[in-house]
Amino acid sequence: MKALGEYEVWFLTGSQDLYGEETLRQVAADAQAIATGLDSAASIPVRVVWKPVVKNPEAILATCVEASASPKCVGVVAWMHTFSPAKMWIAGLQALRKPLLHLHTQFNRDLPWGEIDMDFMNLNQSAHGDREFSHVEERLGLRRKTVAGYWQDPATQERIGTWCRAACGLNEVRHLKLARFGDNMRCVAVTEGDKVSAQMQFGVSVEGFSVGDLSNAVRAVADSKVDDLVAEYEAAYDVAPSLRAGGAEREALREAARIEVALREFMAEGDYGAITDTFENLDGLKQLPGIAAQRLMADGYGFGAEGDWKTAVMVRVVKVMARGLAGGTSFMEDYTYHLDPAGPKVLGAHMLEVCPSISDGRVSCEIHPLSIGGRSDPVRLVFDAGTGPAIVVALTDMGDRFRIISSEIDLIAPDAPLVKLPVGRAVWRLRPDFATATECWLIAGGSHHTVLSRAVGAEMIADFAEMVGCEFLLIGADTNVATFKKELRWSEAYYHLARGLR
Ligand code: MN
């Protein structure tokens, strides 16, 4: 089973009737071979489903309507083997409600130089068929991805796979339900946002609950379920002595497990894919959820602290996009800096809620005081993030639109063990350098909460932003402040104009 094998993209080939039956049979056979080849590509995580060659406006419209209605279909790949007069595509593309990838390839890699005749030229017309198609895509102003390259080239397949993952992220956010316990942390700006606008643009439904709903459920959890979960903790982590059987703080571990059981049942019963909580609304809870939030994230749920539902949405989306890829994804916060001129570093962490999927080393289960929140000491997982390239992603509400900002980073080991910092921790360098990356992040109004992912790259986030029609800003190796500042100004004007009058 492929990592996202419950989803499909449809492979749609355009042609027209005038070529005659023999050529059209060949078009269908070649298109099927490409669809099968892409379906078996390791870098493409969904099923690639061949659809009969479309040769007239009626068939194009019918296929696009069918794709739009299919719950399994997360996107459509279109390719023109021959010429396919593109006015035939207008109605279909206008009806298409799924992401579109225009694949610019051709069936044969090499020209058979000495053998080429007009029959060959008649059959292999992608070079101009795809230009005709793209003209209408652009005239319609369609949001889409264009990928050019030979279909058997791993680099081409990789880019198609990246887009497929983004399409699965879109499918997820279209259906996502998020439960928030309590509101945002009081007086904080960046975690706020317009939930109606978010639902209109992304699809996610953000639903509020009293933390009393959760604490009642915690009190009702059966002891046997707590026993089972504690045993799971003991099997999975290095559990601190005081939390082990007979230890002085054993009951705190059982309480943490009780919170996790209740949260999981709440999420499952309500079909929620993401949650938020906040230390300011803990009525009836004995601890701020630490290990519970961490383990829910490790199982693919979205999470945001201090009521940060936008980051929780993005954690969930990136978790779905990243399924089956190496490296994890977590809620993260830019916390504090190491400003050595030889190479400034960022230390990222949170009070508790960092996902152990970003670690590739030892994870221990510990209990320590937490002054904030005014509750008992919370149980948490403690670890260092693994090293290597990663990305941080923020979703912010600019008032008139949403904005996604990504920064490419390189995770590194801490200079010395962080023995007195018992949380999930990550240390990284910024690309292209500390000053450029942080200045750009700040002038873009980026939040301190992010999604950190070792599994996905900037192109996937860009593809997702394109699909959902969201402004996207990337800070990476090629970024410079002056150009970035101009991009912000141009972007401001574009989104203002693009929204139009209502
Ligand atoms: Mn925070």
Domain 8-174's class? alpha beta
* Contacting residues for 69 by C-beta, under 8 A, at least 6 apart: none
341 C-alpha to center of ligand 1: Å? 27
* Contacting residues for 70 by C-beta, under 8 A, at least 6 apart: 8, 10
13 C-alpha to center of ligand 1: Å? 48
Residue 502 has pLDDT above 80, yes or no: no
135 C-alpha to center of ligand 1: Å? 46
48 beta partners: 9
Which amino acid makes up residue 6?
A: E
305 C-alpha to center of ligand 1: Å? 6
| Nearest alpha carbon to residue 403 among 199, 206, 198, 100 | 198
Structure-derived torsion over alpha carbons of residues 211, 213, 218, 219, reported in degrees to the nearest 10: 110
CA end-to-end distance (rounded Å), the chain: 46
449 C-alpha to center of ligand 1: Å? 6
Q: Could you tell me if 38 and 81 are in contact, meaning their C-beta atoms sit under 8 angstroms apart?
A: no
Task: Tell me what pLDDT residue 500 has.
Answer: 86
Task: Tell me what pLDDT residue 499 has.
Answer: 86
SS3 for 245-305 is CCCCCHHHHHHHHHHHHHHHHHHHHHCCCEEECCCCCCCCCCCCCCHHHHHHHHCCCEEEC
Cα–Cα distance between 177 and 338 in angstroms, integer?
38
- Cα distances from 335 to residues 99, 252, 348, in angstroms, run 36, 27, 5
Q: Looking at the chain, which residues constitute the CATH 3.40.50.10940 domain(s)?
A: 8-174
Task: Tell me what pLDDT residue 6 has.
Answer: 98
Cα–Cα distance between 68 and 409 in angstroms, integer?
37
Q: Give SS3 for 217.
A: helix
| DSSP tag of 166 | H
Task: Tell me what pLDDT residue 374 has.
Answer: 86
Give one word for 19, left, alpha or beta, with left for phi > 0 and alpha for psi -120 to 50. alpha
352 C-alpha to center of ligand 1: Å? 10
Q: Could you tell me if 102 and 148 are in contact, meaning their C-beta atoms sit under 8 angstroms apart?
A: no
- Cα distances from 413 to residues 335, 347, 388, 420, 436, in angstroms, run 16, 10, 9, 16, 22
Which amino acid makes up residue 153?
A: D
Mean pLDDT of 138-167: 98
- The token duo for 338 is 């190491």
350 C-alpha to center of ligand 1: Å? 6
Residue 11 has pLDDT above 80, yes or no: yes
Mean pLDDT of 221-241: 98
- The token duo for 165 is 């993952």
Mean pLDDT of 481-498: 96
Cα–Cα distance between 32 and 107 in angstroms, integer?
10
304 C-alpha to center of ligand 1: Å? 8
Task: Tell me what pLDDT residue 129 has.
Answer: 97
- The token duo for 268 is 């499952």
Task: Tell me what pLDDT residue 168 has.
Answer: 98
Cα–Cα distance between 163 and 197 in angstroms, integer?
25
What is the tens place of the pLDDT at every residue in 237-252?
Answer: 999 999 999 999 999 9
Cα–Cα distance between 133 and 23 in angstroms, integer?
20
Q: How confident is the model at residue 123 (pLDDT cuts 50, 70, 90)?
A: very high
167 C-alpha to center of ligand 1: Å? 29
Q: 412: exposed, middle or buried (C-beta count within 10 Å: 0-12, 13-18, 19+)?
A: middle
Task: Tell me what pLDDT residue 444 has.
Answer: 98
Task: Tell me what pLDDT residue 282 has.
Answer: 93
What is the tens place of the pLDDT at every residue in 276-286?
Answer: 999 999 999 99
Q: Could you tell me if 28 and 52 are in contact, meaning their C-beta atoms sit under 8 angstroms apart?
A: yes
Q: Could you tell me if 328 and 453 are in contact, meaning their C-beta atoms sit under 8 angstroms apart?
A: yes
| DSSP tag of 63 | H
Q: Could you tell me if 472 and 461 are in contact, meaning their C-beta atoms sit under 8 angstroms apart?
A: yes
Residue 344 has pLDDT above 80, yes or no: yes
203 C-alpha to center of ligand 1: Å? 25
211 C-alpha to center of ligand 1: Å? 18
Q: How confident is the model at residue 17 (pLDDT cuts 50, 70, 90)?
A: very high
351 C-alpha to center of ligand 1: Å? 7
Q: Could you tell me if 427 and 411 are in contact, meaning their C-beta atoms sit under 8 angstroms apart?
A: yes
Give one word for 228, left, alpha or beta, with left for phi > 0 and alpha for psi -120 to 50. alpha
Mean pLDDT of 153-180: 98
* Contacting residues for 42 by C-beta, under 8 A, at least 6 apart: none
Q: Please give the model's pTM, rounded to 2 decimal places.
A: 0.97
Q: Could you tell me if 476 and 407 are in contact, meaning their C-beta atoms sit under 8 angstroms apart?
A: yes
184 C-alpha to center of ligand 1: Å? 11
Strand 379-384 and strand 364-367: pairing?
A: antiparallel
Q: How many residues does the chain have?
A: 502
94 C-alpha to center of ligand 1: Å? 42
Largest CA distance in the chain: 85
Mean pLDDT of 459-488: 98
Q: Give SS3 for 11.
A: strand
What is the tens place of the pLDDT at every residue in 307-326?
Answer: 999 999 999 999 999 999 99
What is the tens place of the pLDDT at every residue in 420-437?
Answer: 999 999 999 999 999 999
| DSSP tag of 378 | P
- The token duo for 12 is 């749609």
Q: How confident is the model at residue 274 (pLDDT cuts 50, 70, 90)?
A: very high
412 C-alpha to center of ligand 1: Å? 22
